[in-house]
Structure 1
């Protein structure tokens, strides 16, 4: 059954090559997930910076609004005092702040859209990473299961080669020898009591003959 052994060797070689091929995709999957996590980290930093910029712009707009109200009050006070020129100058300053506020409102509208887009991209990337991890773990589990199955088949092939080889034949010959020896010993042990019993009967027969002969001699007056 040498072909079984050769087949086992071929299977074992293929399994080793296959396992090596499986490990490479695992490494690539791990690296891909690591790259995605790095991109996610950078994206989170971008989102944080965008939000920080948005908050800073909102604070600046609030300050400009405060100044616009302040210049309006000054214009009103100047007009009450009859100082029309000062009132006109105050309203001009107020208008400058209102213009800046309008520009900031446009910028904030765009910035909010950017932040929402970044957040959406971040959530999508997080889902992709979670799915990639799940698929990677499933792939590893399937790979390990297939590897174990291949090893089991290889082991069974090796065991089959040993079983179908000369192991059981040699064992059977040994058992037959032991059984023959046991039968011979049994036969010898049964023969020994028969020989001993026959010798005893012979001695008893001789003694009886001698005793009877003595009696006969006595009766004949030869004793």
Structure 2
């Protein structure tokens, strides 16, 4: 038996081991994943869901041209390394007047991956002369589930809104403090976690993926 097969037998097939792994070490995303999927998964054993930081595996290069391609790159890499079904998402902010940018480069728009404040500040500076009526944007997410047997599933979620001129709110992360969802007067960072999960692009993508995730625990 290969080392990969040993790992798969000791984790995926063992009731006490992880049955699903999230391809992220972002604690905000992990909390959202759990909250969004909990209504579908119900009462599952502790330790059944793991995350990237639970394994000593390298993070793949996200060189896809779309959110879906990058989500699949991450999920495939972690599934292949662990032998466990892997869920990954790739998401970002797409500003209409900027031709859809930052898009897949949202997390590293300022040149440093994961520097939320620098990314937000740079985007606001780039939009400083854009009138309010032209500040439409969308949060977009692709979620992918990759199975050890080779089956793959991809779903999408999208939320439309506008970019305001100054950050508001202390919740959420990323560009949430400058994004007002369509039909709301508050930013995503001013929503409660429950409101945000019900509305968000990630929530929509993961809820669409949930039926396939639930099958893993049956």
Fold shared per TM-score above 0.5: no
TM-score normalised over the length of structure 2:
0.20
TM-score normalised over the length of structure 1:
0.20
Larger radius of gyration: 1
